[in-house]
Each structure stands twice: as structure tokens, then as C-alpha cells.
């Protein structure tokens, strides 16, 4: 369970709504039980259940002991050509669970224009999906998400400024590119990844990213769905990063 710092008073918190329902109905907790807790952008630890009201509206009072750091700071950011809304919801949740610093949602020639009108792109909605992913992983570091409706302005104006933050930049592109395995070697540093739209990057987009410093990489002969490619790429890099 992820708490807002303002909710905590004297190392104690009173939960209601969805979070109390979760503790009472899903975890079937009893007074004295311990649940994992994190403070948004802060520490993680445990909450001991001191009081629990089972009848709706349910409530749970927890005594907190939060002294551990969340899992390692993410050193992976992702540029993602805006996918369809239903897929974006899943990707946002999963990225927050896997650990990501920033997500840049960008336009590309094969992104459907209507995707930009989706309600999932409201900052509040994105935040809810990110928080759910963080809670899943007992992490507290809220990833940043930014929207870039023009491919060229993003690549020509913003990317040159961003590039200094990254030690490696890789764009996933099926076909002739070398396999990630032979291109990416273990080591420290920040990595920026790029995954294309369902219809793929076009030649101009891959060339522009390559000119901006990205190395095109293949994830193998199988063409993966966007969300699968995101997870595979993230997993392969983070395993090697942490080795
Ligand atoms: N027909 C499209 C193409 O050839 O690019 C397929 C696009 S794929 C469904 C969507 C995105 O996932 C791609 O733009 C790429 O970023 C990533 N992707 C999927 N499978 C991949 C693979 N085997 N190697 C590298 N990237 C891949």
C-alpha cells in the first residue's frame, strides 16, 4: 500500500475506501497482522494493524515502521510511440512495477491520431495506473510521464538536450539490426530505450533516432507485440545492468 506523505500522522495512518477493502476482504487481515507499506517518493516498511472495522464503510488503522529504501533506483527510461489506450494502461502499470524513471510518449507516423484523445492520457489517470504498478512492486518512486505530439520537434529539439543524461540509447527495430545480446554489454550508466508503434517505425524515424545517437537493436526473429517488446527489452537490460 502506497501512502501520500500527508496521510501519516505520528507514524500512524487511518485507511478507508479501496485500501481498507483490500486489507479486510482480499488480505483477510486481523488486528496485529503486518502489511507492506511505502510512502510516495519515500521509504518502505511495515504497518501493524491496530484497529480494523469490517463493516462498510471499512477502515483500518496502521502503526508504521518505515525505514528501508525502495528497490534500486531505475536507470532505464523509455521512449514509446503512443500505443492504443488499453495497451498503454497495461504498459504503464507494468513499467511502474518493473521500475522506470521516465516514460516519453511520442508520436510516430503509424500512431493513430485518435489515441491522443484517450482519457488514459490525463495526468490523474496515468498516475492511478502508475501507483497501482508501484504498489504491486512495493516501490515508491513515481515515474515521470511526458507527452510529445510531434515526432520531429521531439527528436530535433528535445532529444539533443536529453541525450547528455544517457550512457546508452537503443531503438528496438525488427529486421537487420544486430541482436540486443551482441550490442549491449553489462555496465553502469543510464539507458534510454525506444519502442515503436504497432505498425513499426518508418525509415525516416529509425534514421532520425540513429542520427540522434540511438543504436538500432533486434530482439530476435519473432515480431513481438508492443507491450511484449517493452517488457522483454526492459528485462534484458535490467538483468544485465544489475549483474
Ligand atoms: N511490422 C512492424 C515492424 O516491422 O516494425 C512490427 C512492429 S512491432 C509489432 C512494434 C514495435 O515493437 C517495433 O517497432 C519495435 O520497436 C518492437 N519490436 C517488436 N518485435 C521486435 C523484434 N523482434 N526486434 C526488435 N524490436 C521489436
pLDDT, one tens digit per residue, over 97-152 is 999 999 999 999 999 999 999 999 999 999 999 999 999 999 999 999 999 999 99
pLDDT interval class at 74 (50, 70, 90): confident
Q: Give the distance (Å) from ligand 1 centre to CA of residue 200.
A: 6
Rounded Cα distance between 167 and 214, Å, is 11
Q: Give the distance (Å) from ligand 1 centre to CA of residue 123.
A: 27
Q: Give the distance (Å) from ligand 1 centre to CA of residue 212.
A: 20
CATH number of the domain enclosing 156: 3.40.1280.10
Q: In terms of domains, do 93 and 123 share one?
A: yes
DSSP at 167: S
Query: 73 pLDDT exceeds 80?
Result: no
Q: In terms of domains, do 107 and 140 share one?
A: yes
Percent of the chain with pLDDT over 90: 88
Question: Ligand 1: which of 172, 176, 192, 207 to mutate, judged by most atoms within 8 Å of the beta carbon?
Answer: 172
Q: In terms of domains, do 62 and 95 share one?
A: no
Which pTM value belongs to this model?
A: 0.91
Domains in the chain: how many in total? Answer: 2
Q: In terms of domains, do 87 and 41 share one?
A: no
Residue showing cell 463493516: 55
Average pLDDT of the segment spanning 171-189: 89
Q: In terms of domains, do 176 and 90 share one?
A: yes
What is the Cβ-side half-sphere exposure of residue 131, based on CA atoms within 13 angstroms? 15
Tell me the per-residue pLDDT of 199-223, one tens digit each, with 9 for 90 and over.
Answer: 999 999 999 999 999 999 999 999 9
- Which of 68, 92, 125 is a domain's end point? 68
What is the Cβ-side half-sphere exposure of residue 136, based on CA atoms within 13 angstroms? 15
Rounded Cα distance between 8 and 6, Å, is 6
- Which of 40, 68, 96 is a domain's end point? 68
Q: In terms of domains, do 150 and 217 share one?
A: yes
Q: Give the distance (Å) from ligand 1 centre to CA of residue 226.
A: 7
Q: In terms of domains, do 140 and 89 share one?
A: yes
Query: What is the domain extent for residue 44?
Result: 2-68
- Which of 68, 84, 99 is a domain's end point? 68
Query: 154 pLDDT exceeds 70?
Result: yes
Q: In terms of domains, do 14 and 120 share one?
A: no
Q: In terms of domains, do 84 and 197 share one?
A: yes
Q: In terms of domains, do 168 and 227 share one?
A: yes
Percent of the chain with pLDDT over 70: 99
Q: Give the distance (Å) from ligand 1 centre to CA of residue 167.
A: 23
Q: Give the distance (Å) from ligand 1 centre to CA of residue 197.
A: 8
Q: In terms of domains, do 60 and 82 share one?
A: no
* Ligand 1 nearest-atom number relative to CA 219: 24
Query: 243 pLDDT exceeds 60?
Result: no
Q: In terms of domains, do 90 and 23 share one?
A: no
* Ligand 1 nearest-atom number relative to CA 223: 20
b vs e for 186-225, b when ≥16 Cβ sit within 10 Å of the residue's Cβ? eeeeebbbbbbbeebbeeebbebbeebebbbbbbeeeebe
Q: Give the distance (Å) from ligand 1 centre to CA of residue 142.
A: 27
* Ligand 1 nearest-atom number relative to CA 200: 5
Ligand 1 interacting residues, C-beta cut-off 6 A: 172-174, 195-196, 198, 200-201, 218-220, 222-226, 229
CATH number of the domain enclosing 25: 2.40.240.20
Q: Whose CA is nearest to atom 11 of ligand 1?
A: 196
pLDDT interval class at 80 (50, 70, 90): very high
Contact 52, 24 (CB under 8 A): yes
Report which of residues 72 and 64 the model is more confident about. 64
Question: Ligand 1: which of 88, 169, 174, 209 to mutate, judged by most atoms within 8 Å of the beta carbon?
Answer: 174
Amino acid at each position: 500500500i502506497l501512502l501520500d506523505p500527508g496521510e501519516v500522522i505520528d507514524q500512524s495512518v487511518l485507511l478507508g475506501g479501496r485500501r481498507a477493502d483490500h486489507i479486510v476482504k482480499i488480505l483477510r487481515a486481523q488486528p496485529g497482522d503486518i502489511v507492506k507499506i511505502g510512502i510516495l517518493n519515500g521509504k518502505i516498511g511495515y504497518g501493524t494493524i491496530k484497529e480494523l472495522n469490517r463493516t462498510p464503510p471499512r477502515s483500518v488503522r496502521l502503526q508504521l515502521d518505515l525505514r528501508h529504501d525502495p528497490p534500486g533506483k531505475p536507470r532505464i527510461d523509455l521512449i514509446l510511440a503512443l500505443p492504443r489506450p488499453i495497451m498503454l494502461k497495461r504498459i504503464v502499470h507494468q513499467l511502474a512495477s518493473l521500475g522506470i524513471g521516465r516514460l516519453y510518449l511520442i508520436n510516430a507516423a503509424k500512431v493513430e491520431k485518435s489515441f491522443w484523445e484517450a482519457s488514459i492520457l490525463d495526468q490523474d489517470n496515468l498516475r492511478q495506473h502508475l501507483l497501482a504498478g508501484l504498489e504491486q512492486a512495493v516501490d515508491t518512486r513515481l515515474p515521470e510521464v511526458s507527452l510529445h505530439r510531434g515526432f520531429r520537434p521531439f527528436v530535433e529539439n528535445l532529444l539533443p538536450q536529453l541525450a547528455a543524461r544517457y550512457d546508452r540509447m537503443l531503438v528496438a527495430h525488427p529486421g537487420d539490426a544486430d541482436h540486443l545480446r551482441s550490442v549491449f554489454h553489462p555496465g553502469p550508466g543510464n539507458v534510454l530505450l525506444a519502442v515503436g508503434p504497432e505498425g513499426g517505425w518508418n525509415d525516416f524515424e529509425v534514421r532520425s533516432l540513429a542520427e540522434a545517437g540511438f543504436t538500432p537493436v533486434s530482439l530476435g526473429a519473432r515480431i513481438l507485440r508492443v507491450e511484449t517488446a517493452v517488457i522483454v527489452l526492459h528485462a534484458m537490460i535490467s538483468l544485465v545492468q544489475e549483474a
